[in-house]
Homo-oligomer: A and B are copies of this chain.
């Protein structure tokens, strides 16, 4: 292939000098919301003492509204939207971007939001294994109409290092646990408050308790394909998500805007601390 167009980033090797733009990237942080990923780049710039106070970081993917991308020093911050297909498109193009840029020794961390199981809201979960809706640590990829099973292993050492960072910060509860990754937010996560719901509260609680017994501590919608693609690409990866509610106690995310904003800063703080430690060493 002569030129490679990363369509959903509105970037291409024929129009952009990838090694010059991205060659020094060592940490990639990804998360669903574009505004959260912009807030993260501002935060990490301050943490690392890079850039000036109040600096504005331009969106590198300004030519599209599919994803947003920001960079400061060795850190790239990219949004991925919601769900497995959305993050998968982004990851294919991100892995190609890192390859074309000749980056080496890159760590990718997803910083996201999730529903907790049996944890106080605001707790942070560092994913041990990403499991599917039947609690198996696998991701089903459909290729040419056939289902292929892929491993969702994440880097144990990286998870432990992140746990150590949380202890150093000592500001919020953090656990290492399994993360269930689903294809749906309502029926797929046993919520009772979707437009469609064909089961009762008792069945919901039975399912969530079975998940808890299988080591699941939170539920989100991207970790399985994230782990699978990073595995196949040989990139060290971790998933760090805050829990916005305890699903054993309800379905609606009803905390105040300010409380939710503070919760969402927790994975940023934890991963910011990790990057700062690593950059200093």
Residue numbers of A with Cβ under 8 A of B are 1, 4-5, 7-8, 32-35, 63, 65-66, 81-86, 88-89, 91-96, 99, 133-135, 141-145, 182-188, 190, 193-196, 198-199, 203-204, 207, 221, 229, 232-233, 252-254, 257
Contacts of A33 in B (CB 8 A): 65-66
On whether the beta carbons of B229 and A196 are closer than 8 Å, the reply is yes
On whether the beta carbons of B141 and A252 are closer than 8 Å, the reply is no
- Which residue in chain B gives the minimum CB-CB distance to A93? B195
Q: A81-B82, A144-B207, A195-B96 in contact; A88/B229 too (CB < 8 A)?
A: no
Shortest distance in angstroms between A39's beta carbon and chain B's nearest beta carbon?
11
On whether the beta carbons of A65 and B34 are closer than 8 Å, the reply is yes
Contacts of A182 in B (CB 8 A): 85, 142
Contacts of A86 in B (CB 8 A): 81-83, 85-86
On whether the beta carbons of B142 and A188 are closer than 8 Å, the reply is yes
| From A65, A82, A141, A193, residue with most partner B Cβ within 10 Å | A82
Shortest distance in angstroms between A218's beta carbon and chain B's nearest beta carbon?
16
On whether the beta carbons of A66 and B82 are closer than 8 Å, the reply is yes
Contacts of A99 in B (CB 8 A): 195
Give CA–CA (A4, B191) in the complex, Å.
Answer: 13
Shortest distance in angstroms between A100's beta carbon and chain B's nearest beta carbon?
11
Shortest distance in angstroms between A9's beta carbon and chain B's nearest beta carbon?
12
On whether the beta carbons of A145 and B141 are closer than 8 Å, the reply is no
Q: A99-B195, A195-B229 in contact; A142/B183 too (CB < 8 A)?
A: yes
